[in-house]
Amino acid sequence: MKLDSVDIRQTASATDLVFEALRKAIIEGELAEGEHLRQDHIAQMFNTSRIPVREAFQRLEQDGLVTTQRFKGTVVAALSVSEIEEIFEFRALLESEMMRLAVPELTQERLEIARAHLQAFAETADPGGWGEANRNFHYGLYEAAARPYHLQIIRSSLDRVDRYLRAQLTLTDGVQRANREHLAIFEACRKGDADEAANLTRSHILDAGRSLLAILEKRRG
């Protein structure tokens, strides 16, 4: 099992640290769907009791990243094709509206930061870096809308599909296409065209969802 573990005996936020380590491993695909997560083993890895681990499991289950199965315990959640399709439809609706709200509030400083994230996504050759750079680009723009609850929901939705997106980017020309679409979104933002930026964001998300579903259906038979 691959986890970034630390000694948290003296840490008050043990649950938070276990939660973040597990969340990161799941969304980056280090923990595969269906993989069994043993409380005692994880507690030993972090040199803590089972209580913070159990609490972390509960938070992960609320976020839809793990599930509890009878006779097996806690396992990494797997998403069906219909669930993934629904999540992408939801993201397209919410994120396009976030972009529409954000564009009038974008400062030159935010645009320069977004440009840097755009470049980081285009230049990284590490699949692990694509997810982070992608989030940074989109979130950096959405934050201008000043809708923290909306952003929290977007983060949770993306967490549930991020590991699948990484596979899609690796197995297709998704990175090159995402680069082109990111650049178009950025240019619409730079020009202050909220409607165009929103429409491009919606198409960007729906296109990624369709590409991902095609890959999953093929791999799952």
Per-residue pLDDT tens over the stretch 97-152: 999 999 999 999 999 999 999 999 888 877 667 788 888 999 999 999 999 999 99
Query: What is the C-alpha to C-alpha distance for residues 142 and 138, in angstroms, rounded to an integer?
Result: 6
2 DSSP assignment? -
Q: Which domain holds residue 141?
A: 81-219
The residue among 91, 62, 89, 57 whose CA lies nearest residue 74 is: 57
pLDDT band for 1, please (50, 70, 90 cuts).
low
Place of tokens 């009791």: 49
As a whole-number percent, the residues of the chain with pLDDT over 70 amount to 92
Same domain, 107 and 40: no
198 DSSP assignment? H
What global pTM score does this model have? 0.81
Higher pLDDT, 173 or 213: 213
pLDDT in tens, 72-111: 899 999 888 899 899 999 999 999 999 999 999 999 999 9
Report yes or no on 158 lying in a domain.
Answer: yes
pLDDT in tens, 160-181: 888 888 777 777 777 888 899 9
Same domain, 189 and 213: yes
Same domain, 71 and 86: no
Report yes or no on 6 lying in a domain.
Answer: no
* Residues near 101 by beta carbon (within 8 Å), at least 6 away in sequence: 145, 147, 194
Same domain, 144 and 201: yes
Report yes or no on 144 lying in a domain.
Answer: yes
Mean pLDDT of 148-161: 92
Residue 54 has pLDDT above 60, yes or no: yes
Q: State the average pLDDT for the chain.
A: 89
Assign residue 109 the CATH number of its domain.
1.20.120.530
Report yes or no on 114 lying in a domain.
Answer: yes
The residue among 168, 160, 162 whose CA lies nearest residue 215 is: 168
Report yes or no on 9 lying in a domain.
Answer: no
Dihedral pair phi/psi, residue 106, rounded to 5°: -70, 130
